[in-house]
Amino acid sequence: MRSLRLLGYGWAHHFKIMSRDPFNGFLAVTWPLFFATVAFFMFRTSGDAQALFIASLGATVMGMWSVTSTSAGAAMQRERWHGTLELLVATPVHFSLILLPITLAMSTIGLYCLVSTLLWGRFLFGIDLQIEHPLLFFVAVPATIVSIGLLGFLLAVTCVRYRTGWALGNALEFPVWLVCGLLVPITLLPDWVRPISWALAPTWGMNAMRESATGGSVLPDVAACLALGLGYGLAGVLVLETVLRSARARATLSLT
């Protein structure tokens, strides 16, 4: 219960900070709109209203991943720059309970992406927001957010040894949403790409949101999304423990 309370307080604290940050706020609201606008113009030629709505959902998940990948790559580096990394590592709780709320808050900013993208499509392009299973849709969205946050957590701890970890996060932004089939169907990609997409939680989160909108089966995709997120979290804890042990052994907790 103490760990859950710490995660909750940490998430609320960092979410408030990030929601008031000009960079994250501007990025979360406007960046998905560029994706959505391009997708709307592409899919509008088919005359299929449902395809337009699915494109807006894809742009939403793209925005969630973009916000997380850009910031997660430099999450620990940012603490080092602020001079607070050693103090946070020395706290009585495991450092993962301090770092994880940061990446979860990053992915939660993606709710701005969801609202802004759907409203943008509704009022500017006249897209009907028809969801066959609204309750399951509101189950799929948090599952997608949590799994992307956990993927960002794994990215944060694996990029810590790179001074330009944020650049690596940027480099992974476009390949991930392309491989996950957020706008381009996975069936159009080479066969060797599909196993990679199956190992990425945004693929299953997007499938769950799509199926809830079209009336398909949602729970298997939600389960796969959460299972992968849990795997990311466990892998991140193991990697983080290795990184901290190495830093302590070499007396380089500042990770310079």
Q: What is the pLDDT of residues 146-185, one digit of tens each?
A: 898 888 888 888 766 665 666 676 777 788 888 888 877 7
* pTM of the predicted structure, to 2 decimals: 0.84
Whether residue 256 lies inside any domain: the answer is: no
Say yes or no to pLDDT of 33 above 80.
no
> Residue-wise over 61-100: b if at least 16 C-beta within 10 A, else e?
bbbbbbbbbbbbbbbbbbbbeeeebeeebeeeebbbbbbb
Domain membership flag for residue 255: no
pLDDT computed for residue 199 by the predictor: 92
Number of domains forming the structure of the chain: 1
Percent of the chain residues topping a pLDDT of 70: 87
Radius of gyration of the chain (CA): 19
Which of 45-49, 66-70, 105-109 is the most confident on average? Answer: 105-109
What's the rounded Cα separation, in Å, for the pair 149 and 103?
5
Looking at the domain assignment, is residue 7 inside a domain? yes
The more confident residue out of 102 and 28 is 102
Name the residue with tokens 């900013």: 109
- Asked if residue 235 is part of any domain, the answer here is yes
Residues near 7 by beta carbon (within 8 Å), at least 6 away in sequence:
97, 100, 101, 104
- Give me the domain span that covers residue 151: 2-249
Q: Is residue 254 part of a domain?
A: no
- Stretch 187-204: mean pLDDT: 88
Would you say residue 203 lies in a domain? Answer: yes
Alpha-carbon distance of 47 to 30, in angstroms, equals 26
Confidence band (pLDDT; 50, 70, 90) for 51? confident
Band of residue 127 on the pLDDT scale cut at 50, 70, 90 = confident
